[in-house]
């Protein structure tokens, strides 16, 4: 595992805990209030028995009343959504063709986006994993490998929506996994896809909640799971709107397993009326990516790059966004005055003096000052070339709880800075003092291992308990020995996240 000293740019302090409250209006409906303290408290040691308790959330009778009222309204909202998307199907199909001409869809396999398969379905049970793009797809690859290794009787189907994810993931997936592009969320495309592949389970990653996909799969008897469930504040507010919330509640009620990233995400899902008894924790799957071997052509010269950067001071800027590249370049110019031999690796294309672009095949020479990694799927490997990683300040949300967890485990693992001057000072200190740099690298590695240990195994065990075993029980089959050993050998409540009050920025180590 790489040793990387993590530096984060611009910490954003949140307002602390908030209490959400709401009121159901209308005759016969109960008033209610909800606060995070009713679900989890940081002083508790989490266990599966704490996930669902009538006194912690609400009474079962109240939930039944809410489901009867909201369920009917949610069905009505879905019927409207389904009718609208059905009417827009010709325009959506034309849009997919237009994207193909613009090079945004695969030139040959674009019909898969309309639910048309490009390969024959093998016989036997099939489980479907879906991720929207590259980052989500990479975090679920280790879980897919577990499925291929331990359930040889099951065919695995993997789908994404972007061509960039296709180009990278096709080299990472195990042999035998079927890769297709996901259908657009129209009734015709979804029904055609489900009718052909006939999966018995659908595993979604992060925030892929599409009404036709979720409710169409449920209507066809497909079991649903949501791994690494998360949503930004903006998405939560959108899903919480009066009418949309009814549709959200209906979709979440169809899941047999929801694995959120943190307590905050779990609370948000329960505020959207996700069933509390299906919520479990495994840890962040992006911490469990491990040593995925990238077999793309561009990765073949990584050892050559390691030799070229040997003996040079190297730092890396990743996940930077518009406006932040100027800060990074200004900081690098300041560091060059003190350390002429320093090299910056940046994962955002930017013109400048002595800049080498990886996508153009530019060589990294002793005179190269900035090496731009403008390719996909290689960022993790480049962390192995540099002892220092700077993560852009706008890259918040998904990594906020990870950074706080690392700091709680070891304060030296993550350093927060508030601007360019402070960043330059910290980098100069790390580059000039090998002992301090080594201490921070060790701290980052220890914190990373503490958080990532067992994450993939936990997620696989939860799938075994809530999807595979339940599917066999409904089908009248008995558990396999591997399922019994897995279900008896691990507590699915491991790696309980902490409560976090502020948003920070975090990087991979």
Q: Which residues are catalytic?
A: 136
Nearest alpha carbon to residue 123 among 153, 149, 158, 159: 153
Closest CA to 389 of 365, 406, 409, 367: 406
Query: 509 is written with which tokens?
Result: 């180590």
Report helix, strand or coil for 258.
strand
DSSP for 328-339? Answer: HHHHHHHHHHH-
8 A C-beta contact, residue 189 and residue 96: no
Distance CA(372)–CA(58), nearest Å, equals 53
The torsion of the CA quartet 439, 286, 156, 278, rounded to 10 degrees, works out to: 130
Nearest to 250 by CA among 471, 82, 385, 135: 82
For helices 187-197 and 89-101, give the axis angle rounded to 10 degrees.
80
- Burial readout 27-45 (b: 16 or more C-beta within 10 A, e: otherwise): eeeeeeebebebbbeeeee
153's tokens: 């009787």
SS3 323: coil
Nearest residue to 440 via CA among 9, 1, 4, 2: 4
- The distance from CA 284 to its chain's CA centroid, rounded to whole angstroms, is 8
CA-nearest of 230, 140, 205 to 456 is 140
In the structure encoding, which two tokens stand for residue 10, read together? 């611009």
């Amino acid at each position: 595992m790489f040793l990387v000293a993590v530096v984060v740019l611009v910490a954003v302090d949140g307002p602390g805990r908030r209490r959400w409250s709401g009121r159901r209006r209308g005759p016969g409906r109960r008033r209610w209030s909800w606060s995070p303290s009713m679900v989890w408290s940081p002083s508790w040691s989490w266990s599966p028995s704490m996930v669902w308790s009538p006194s912690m959330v609400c009474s079962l009778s109240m939930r039944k009343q809410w489901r009867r009222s909201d369920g009917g309204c949610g069905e009505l909202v879905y019927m409207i959504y389904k009718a609208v998307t059905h009417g827009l199907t010709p325009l959506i199909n034309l849009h997919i063709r237009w994207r193909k001409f613009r090079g945004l869809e695969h030139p040959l396999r674009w019909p898969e986006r309309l639910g048309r398969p490009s390969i024959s379905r093998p016989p036997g049970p099939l489980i479907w994993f879906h991720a929207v793009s590259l980052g989500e797809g990479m975090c679920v690859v280790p879980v897919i490998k577990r499925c291929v290794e331990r359930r040889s009787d099951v065919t695995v189907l993997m789908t994404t929506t972007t061509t960039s994810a296709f180009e990278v993931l096709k080299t990472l997936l195990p042999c035998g996994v079927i890769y297709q592009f996901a259908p657009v969320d129209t009734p015709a495309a979804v029904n055609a896809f489900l009718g052909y592949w006939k999966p018995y389970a659908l595993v979604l990653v992060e925030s892929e909640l599409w009404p036709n996909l979720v409710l169409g799969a449920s209507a066809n008897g497909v079991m649903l799971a949501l791994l690494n469930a998360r949503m930004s504040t903006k998405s939560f507010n959108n899903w919480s709107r009066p009418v949309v919330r009814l549709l959200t509640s209906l979709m979440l009620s169809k899941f047999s397993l929801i694995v959120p990233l943190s307590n905050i995400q779990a609370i948000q899902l329960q505020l959207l009326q996700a069933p509390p008894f299906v919520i479990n924790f495994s840890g962040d799957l992006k911490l469990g990516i491990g040593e995925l071997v990238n077999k793309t052509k561009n990765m073949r010269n990584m050892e050559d790059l390691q030799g070229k950067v040997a003996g040079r001071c190297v730092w890396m800027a990743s996940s930077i966004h518009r406006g932040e590249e100027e800060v990074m370049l200004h900081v690098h110019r300041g560091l060059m005055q003190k350390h002429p031999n320093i090299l910056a690796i940046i994962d955002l294309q930017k013109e400048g003096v002595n800049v080498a672009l990886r996508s153009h095949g530019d060589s990294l020479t002793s005179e190269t000052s900035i090496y731009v990694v403008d390719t996909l799927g290689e960022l993790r490997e480049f962390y192995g070339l540099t002892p220092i990683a700077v993560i852009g300040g706008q890259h918040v949300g998904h990594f906020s709880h990870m950074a706080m967890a690392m700091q709680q485990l070891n304060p030296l693992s993550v350093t927060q800075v508030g601007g360019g001057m402070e960043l330059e000072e910290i980098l100069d200190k790390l580059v000039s003092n090998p002992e301090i740099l080594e201490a921070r690298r060790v701290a980052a590695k220890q914190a990373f291992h503490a958080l990532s240990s067992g994450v993939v195994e936990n997620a696989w065990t939860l799938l075994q308990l809530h999807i595979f075993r339940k599917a066999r029980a409904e089908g009248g089959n008995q558990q396999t020995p591997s399922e019994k050993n897995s279900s008896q050998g691990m507590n699915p409540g491991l790696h309980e996240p902490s409560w976090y009050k502020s948003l920070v920025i975090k990087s991979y180590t």
